[in-house]
Amino acid sequence: MAKQALSVSQLLAQKKTTLDLTDEMRLAFGEPEAVGTWIIWGQSGNGKTTFALQLAKALTLNGRVLYNSLEEGTSLSLMNAAERVKLSEVGNKVQFICEDIPSLLERLKKRRSPRIVFIDSLQYTQMTYKSYIEFKEALPNHLLIFVSHARGKQPDERIGLKVKYDAMLKIWVEGYRAHSMGRFLGERGYVDVWSEGAERYWGGQITGGHGSVSEV
């Protein structure tokens, strides 16, 4: 059965829930909707995992966060990143698992499951675009944040590009700076993962404001 068409007034009268964010995250990403799909991507060594954990910590303002560490498991590098961002400050509000997508879906369909989920990495899920859409549509009340490898300045592989085009918020990490390239943009448009490293990397470049990073 076809869904009813909405008038302009009906469209604008819809109530959408937005996320509570820290001041720094709000300067980068504004006020994103609390559900949907995001993607984070960047080259190795640029601060992608550290940023993902910083974001996970910030999102605990909205409830429990689940981090599915498919690629790294509970490796020392993940432990070090968690220590860098002082993740212990939020106690058990961030929980780590390592599950394939069918097991994760079963977990998330449970009534008291976390509504904010990181999946690291997208390539390790072995999802097709069709299975990604099915997964997303099965969880309409969740925020699904995929972490992706990069090739150049784009997410790696066909699935990475397709998820990027579908995602509501696209976050590119380079030189210890996470840039908003999606449909939600804060006043500054980026957040530094590591201030000293970002200043060293981006020194002399004009990166402030809404026009700081172009889609490539």
Tens of pLDDT, residues 107-130: 999 999 999 999 999 999 999 999
What's residue 10's pLDDT? 78
**Cα-based angle 75, 171, 118 (whole degrees, multiple of 5):** 40
Domain total in the chain: 1
Q: Which domain holds residue 137?
A: 20-202
- Give the pLDDT confidence score for residue 213 in this predicted structure: 38
Assigned domain for 147 exists: yes
In the chain, the N- to C-terminal Cα span, in Å, equals 39
Residue 15 lies in a domain: no
With CA atoms as reference, report the closest residue to 70 among 130, 153, 127: 127
Residues in the chain where the model's pLDDT stays below 70: 1-2, 204-216
In this prediction, residue 4 carries a pLDDT of 82
47 is a domain residue: yes
Strands 65-69 and 116-120, sheet pairing: parallel
Q: What is the CATH number of the domain that holds 98?
A: 3.40.50.300
In a domain, 106, yes or no: yes
* Per-residue pLDDT, 153: 95
- Give backbone dihedrals phi and psi of 154, rounded to 5 degrees, phi first: -120, 155
Whole-number Å distance between alpha carbons of 216 and 178: 15
Name the pTM for this structure.
0.90
Is 4 within a domain?
no
**Looking at the domain assignment, is residue 140 inside a domain?**
yes
Predicted local confidence at residue 205, as pLDDT: 62
